[in-house]
Amino acid sequence: MKTDRLKADLRFLLAPAEIEIDGIHPWDIRVYNNQFFERLFSDGTLGAGEAYVEGWWECAQLDELIARVMKLDIEKKIKANWKLISDVFITRLINRQSKSRAFSNGQYHYDIGNDLFSIMLDKRMTYTCAYWKDAATLDEAQENKLDLTCRKINLQPGMQVLDIGCGWGSFAKYAAEKYDVQVTGITISPQQIELGKELCAGLPVQLKLMDYRDLTGQYDRIVSLGMFEHVGHKNHRRFIEIAHRCLKDDGLFLLHTIGSDNPSTHNDPWIDKYIFPGSLIPSISQIGKAIEGLFIMEDWHNFGKDYDKTLRAWYDNFNKGWSQLSQKYDDAFYRMWKYYLLVCAGTFKAGKNHLWQIVLSKGGVPGGYVSIR
């Protein structure tokens, strides 16, 4: 039977990682619908994710399973289908992160509901990788990251700071409270703006619903925390050019982004379809090409392993808070969100994705930049 052959093929592919089908390890795959095998081999990661959400298979330690699979590079051994090939081709022809698409792409994810993010995230609602050095809780780790960011760009009282992709204003609020600076933050999410303005009330913080391509003015410092992944390869250079134009000559720009080992023009098809439409994780070479001739790279810090722990903390909060969220969201949403958080954790656990904080200057720092960790 075809199912038996495909099941045997999958066993063979997974064996080097000590992953079994219906085995006893917590990272083993438990299959409840044998149509899973054909769907996996025909639709790849898109089929795997959709089948998981539909309850066709399960795994007790999903993040560990994904980490083991990632180290196998198993996707290269499974024949790509024509749908995936056509999707990749289309990304080379059109700008999927154009200005007209940016708002719909971003709102698809960030406007799901502030109730969800309030339960899942830390008390400051920081939706980027935490910094777990000397931290015991998610709240502490996120404050560490915010303070690390402020110190890396040497914030001084009275400075004008631009936050590109400000979310609910966590960095803006922290920097205004702790470093006595004035912050302008932009986002394409109306729900983030609505709650962010409440959270930052009374502080010298201005949050705007705006695409980065409409930015004007000049600032002493610029940060962008977890937004560059939405820019797209066709827009990398323009994004950096705008940051360069908006930064004063003696300023510093901190770019915080997930990073990939290899350059690509498309994201994982399941993530693209269900979680972050139009997203793309940049590589070193893509970032280098975008900043070349505009900025000097002063510091490049990788703390990608901290994202594994951050995503696990987000999942734990989401899971614990599901009794409240289930009044609004259905079981399919629960499985989709669980899959998203734990699969992403697995990619960082495997070292296939990274978290980079890059400090850039226009003409160099007098006396040299001192790296902050």
Active-site residues: which are they? 344
CA atoms within 13 A on the CB side of 224: 23
SS (H, E, C) the chain: CHHHHHHHHHHHHHHHHCCCECCCCCCCEEECCCHHHHHHHHHHHHHHHHHHHCCCEECCCHHHHHHHHHHHCHHHHCCCCHHHHHHHHHHHHCCCCCHHHHHHHHHHHHCCCHHHHHHHCCCCCCCCCCCCCCCCCHHHHHHHHHHHHHHHCCCCCCCEEEEECCCCCHHHHHHHHHHCCEEEEEECCHHHHHHHHHHCCCCCEEEEECCHHHCCCCEEEEEEECCHHHCCCCCHHHHHHHHHHHEEEEEEEEEEEEEECCCCCCCCHHHHHHCCCCCCCCEHHHHHHHHCCCCEEEEEEECCHHHHHHHHHHHHHHHHCHHHHCCCCCHHHHHHHHHHHHHHHHHHHCCCEEEEEEEEECCCCCCCCCCCC
CA 1 to chain CA mean position, Å? 41
Q: How far is 61 from 17, CA to CA, in rounded Å?
A: 14
- Nearest Cα to Cα of residue 363 among 297, 273, 272: 297
Cross-strand bridge partners of residue 283 = 260
Angle 305-310-314 from CA coordinates, rounded to 5°: 150
Residues whose CB falls within 8 Å of the CB of residue 95, separated by 6 or more in sequence, listed in order: 101, 232, 234, 235
Q: How far is 362 from 295, CA to CA, in rounded Å?
A: 5
